[in-house]
Amino acid sequence: MRIVSTMPISEKYIKPVSEKYDFIEWIIKDNMEEARPWLSKAEIFLTLGFDTLAADIEKAEQLKWIHVLSAGVDQMPFDVIQNKQILLTNTRGIHKIPMSEYVIGVMLDHVKKTLFFHEMQKKKTWERRRDIGELYGKTLVVVGTGSIGKDIAHKGKVFGMHTIGVNTSGSEEEFFDQIYSRKDLNEALSQGDFVVIVVPLTQETQNMIGREQFKAMKENAYFINIARGPVVKEKDLIHALQSKDIGGAALDVFTIEPLSSNSPLWTLENVFITPHVSGVTASYTQRAFELFVKNLEVYIEKKGRYINIVDLERQY
């Protein structure tokens, strides 16, 4: 059994699995270019999800299972995967800790004026401000109530925030004081002091946040996107920020990445930019591999249930 990975994995993680299943041939590479020549005989393929072409899967004659070492599967070649009836799983769920901490961090930076005081420090300027805010009592709207969304709401409630969630059906979820269905999205957005977008990118969610939604938000609303860039109409976001329709934004994802140096987002004073790192942590590889190993045991032993099977029709 050959397992090919396009992400480097430490020998300390592989060794115990190899000792248990000594018939596995591990091909661990640093990227897709290095892994591609080994794919034709691979039975299991570990990928980051953005590096895999339809042609790669077509040529992988023995491939039975693809495990994506991230939550996002929007760039996977679903047609060929479905045609070849390949099992597809991902690492959904392991991102909730770093991504919820990221959201809490940028919200605290915003209300406590952290970036302002850092600039004053660089200038050796002692300038006190009295407009420093709190998270306590603020309303947090989370669009997407999966594991990450729930953990954001959970941490928000620790700070005494009122939590509102938005999901497809409007079904109740833990840690949310209120839930709205997606058809009532604008009503939910209108209440948020902070609005967090954390939905998967699908045909239904692409461009779901545009001018109408920004107009529905409070003028001082702080917008946080940790989902995928194309969920938001970037031109409408830029217009909302330039026109002060909303108070500001923390953006970790963009329509095209890396973000072009010509984008006006770089120079807007009410924007905080990070390069798609909200889910990145030193513990990432360990957590991702542990989840894969649980599924590998199901695959080999042929008993138990897989974690995070991706619905090939819904594409998430």
Q: What is the DSSP letter of 138?
A: -
Q: List, in sequence order, the alpha helices (H) in the chain.
A: 11-20, 32-35, 54-59, 78-83, 96-111, 114-122, 147-158, 185-189, 211-216, 234-242, 284-301
By CB atoms closer than 10 A (0-12, 13-18, 19+), residue 68 is buried
Q: Identify whether 200 is preceded by a cis peptide bond (ω within 30 of 0).
A: no
66: β partners: 45, 88
DSSP for 15-55, please give it.
Answer: HHHHHH-TT-EEEE-SSHHHHGGGGGG-SEEEE-SSS--HH
Integer Cα distance of 154 and 149 in angstroms: 9
What residues act catalytically?
A: 228, 257, 276
3-state secondary structure of 85: coil
Q: What is the dihedral angle through the alpha carbons of 242, 244, 250, 256, rounded to the nearest 10 degrees?
A: -30
Upper half-sphere CA count for residue 295 (Cβ side, 13 Å): 25
